[in-house]
Amino acid sequence: MSVHTPAGFDRPVTTATFRARKSAGQRIVMITAYDVSSARLVDAAGVDALLVGDSLGMTVLGHPSTLQVTMDDMLRATAAVARGTSHALVIADMPFMSYQVSAEDAMRNAAAFLAAGAGAVKLEGGAHMADTVRRLVEAGIPVMGHLGLTPQSVNQLGGYKVQGKDSAAALALLEDCRALQEAGAFAIVVECIPAELAALASAELAIPTIGIGAGVGCDGEVQVFHDLLGLGGEFTPRHAKRYAELGAAVTAAVASYADDVRRREFPAEAQTTHLDAAVLEEVRAAHARGTAVRRIAGE
């Protein structure tokens, strides 16, 4: 199947591209990637941004949440994704406690992500993180915000559930959006909030909103690689749509391989090389002589 991207989407994406997309009414497409292989595949599909999400804690490393993810985990993944990307903007998630303690920590860790190949970083939190965002931006580090369901605060939020459902929470979220924009964030992820609230935020802000479980009124969308491709097991979050069942396809392919190996049908002639007949004869003769010598010495 050929890949079709709109006119003007052939240049590398930068943070400035995000605002241009919003002004032109072109929705922004973002997806997670965690290694060079997934990065190459989704970059070739013409997406705008690759999020090296701390969701790798669950999708790749098998942790129960994002809270166990370390800077080393994220830096290694970010460098791999950057090596596999030529078009999309690479955005690195700052993991839990890599930016909350002090602005100095945030500066040092964000700079490490840019050195690893990211074009921007993402961090969670609203008005209380505005000063940190401002300092990072002033230092030349592009920052994407993240509001609504913020997975690093899942214990405080009481689980993975929709946020901003009452008037007080909705108004607080809009205020957080304004605070992040004023601090210099180039975009904001809004996760698991009512569609009407996301549309209000999108209409008010000059910077793009990137939704996940927030309706079609956002300026763009982000989804998890594994959710879209059926690689995450039987469970699919409500906000995700499976576009393929690659998990089942992989299991079936490996089962076929295992059957072929056990039946001695793989490797077949097509996967096999042979010695030249003359060389084989020399090897057999030399081997036979060596075996005879060893037998005599053993006696």
Catalytic residues: 191
pLDDT digits (tens, 9 = 90+) for 36-85: 999 999 999 999 999 999 999 999 999 999 999 999 999 999 999 999 99
Q: Answer whether residue 6 shows pLDDT above 90.
A: no
* 158 pLDDT tier (thresholds 50, 70, 90): confident
Average pLDDT taken over every residue of the chain: 93
- Tell me how far apart the alpha carbons of residues 27 and 208 are, in angstroms, rounded to a whole number: 9
Instruction: Give Cα separations from 118 to 14, 70, 143, 239 (angstroms).
Output: 11, 16, 11, 26
Tokens 């108004």 — which residue? 171
Q: Answer whether residue 298 shows pLDDT above 80.
A: no
Mean pLDDT to the nearest integer, 179-188: 98
Domains of the chain, each with CATH number or no CATH? 15-223 (3.20.20.60)
Q: What is the pLDDT of residue 101?
A: 93
Q: What is the pLDDT of residue 4?
A: 55
pLDDT digits (tens, 9 = 90+) for 86-126: 999 999 999 999 999 999 999 999 999 999 999 999 999 99
pLDDT digits (tens, 9 = 90+) for 236-245: 888 999 999 9
Q: What is the pLDDT of residue 157?
A: 75
Q: What is the pLDDT of residue 5?
A: 58
Q: Answer whether residue 2 shows pLDDT above 60.
A: no
Instruction: Give Cα separations from 28 to 177, 197, 213, 255 (angstroms).
Output: 18, 19, 15, 38
* 233 pLDDT tier (thresholds 50, 70, 90): confident
Q: What is the pLDDT of residue 1?
A: 47
- Whole-model pTM? 0.91
Q: What is the pLDDT of residue 296?
A: 74
Contact call for residues 132 and 99 (beta carbons, < 8 A): yes
Q: Answer whether residue 129 shows pLDDT above 90.
A: yes
Which residues is 146 bridged to in the sheet?
189
Buried b / exposed e along 142-180 (16+ C-beta atoms within 10 A): bbbbbbbbbbbebeeeeeeebbbeeeebbebbbebbbbb
Q: What is the pLDDT of residue 236?
A: 83
